[in-house]
Amino acid sequence: MTDKQFQWGNNKRYNDFPSSFKRRFSERIQKISIDAGFTCPNRDGSKGVGGCTYCNNNSFNPAYCSPKKTVTEQILLGIDFFNTKYKAQYYLAYFQAYSNTYGSLDHLKQIYEEALSHEKVVGLVIGTRPDCVSDSLLCYLEELAKDNYISIEYGVESLNNRALEAINRGHSYQEAEKTIMRTSGRGIHIGAHLVNGLPFDTPQMMIEHAVKLSNLPVDTLKMHQLQILNNTIMAKEYETEPEKFHLFEMEEYLDFIVDVIERINPRVSLERFINQAPKGWLIAPKWGVKNFEFVDKLDKRLVERDAWQGKLFKEIE
């Protein structure tokens, strides 16, 4: 093994997000998901209706999450939920469902500051779309970031505009790149999210998407395999035109992720590789593995291939 494989101070062959988080915080930090009742511009008619064709937020919202409850109530329920596992820890309020910057600045300030008012909440993680972030909001979050951990997770999903159109995303990749650049240099942690397997995206294109994103000022990359979920527009499309979709087999996806890891910027931390839909929601592909089991298989595959993050990385001019 080379020194490069251990430059992140862990025993992984990639820059894993949990280790980078431990380097930042001395205490254990847990995300608490919050549903603050947002929607999206491709749902409410501003840019479209129906939302992203693959989206069903009910498939990943924890039981304690409900827009019928206040932000404070959801935080307290989340703390009670996680206290059964971990006694001493702090929390990040994770505004997860739909586009969590899609509202007036006054309303956003109110809910963000309500979350930060809890003594055990040390920061915010805000999931949103790149077309729902104003300069005034970024200036406000820049101020918050002086005393708190502030992270924005941008749903980029694909760098292929044809794929974005196919899933009714309602924004282009160019908008995503511009927003990432507008966010950089403000002390805000920047995350990006990709879905691997969208219509019109080939595996080679997906690798190139991750590489290009890793050359932007992105701190964390999340990605997962496309899953066809019940009660979605995509489920109906998959039933009638299954050939439109590249649904990875697990072994194929393992090698695909190794190909990605070898080529992306070693500076970027990797937070997620797969999605795991609850029972009853998933139509395809059905791998039957949990997140930690996939990560264990990935670690072994990286050793088998003598691969590590950035081994083949080439900075894009």
The CA distance from 45 to 38, in Å, is: 14
Residues 48-57, mean pLDDT to the nearest whole number = 90
The C-alpha atoms of residue 226 and residue 206 are separated, in whole angstroms, by: 12
User: Residue 3: is its pLDDT beyond 50?
Assistant: no
Statement: residue 114 has pLDDT above 50: yes
pLDDT of residue 9: 62
Percent of the chain past pLDDT 70, that is, above it, reads 94
Return the pLDDT at 120.
93
Q: What is the pTM of this model?
A: 0.93
For residues 261 and 235, give the distance between their C-alpha atoms in angstroms, rounded to a whole number. Answer: 30
- Cα separation, 16 vs 39, in Å, equals 31
Question: pLDDT averaged over the chain?
Answer: 92
Q: What are phi and psi of 250, to 5 degrees?
A: -60, -45
C-alpha 122/C-alpha 108 separation (Å) is 17
Of residues 222, 306, 194, 193, the one with CA closest to residue 258: 306
- The model's pLDDT over 198-217, given as tens digits with 9 standing for 90+, comes to 999 999 999 999 999 999 99
Residue 6: the pLDDT is 54
pLDDT for residue 61 is more than 80: no
* C-beta atoms surrounding 315 within 10 Å: 8
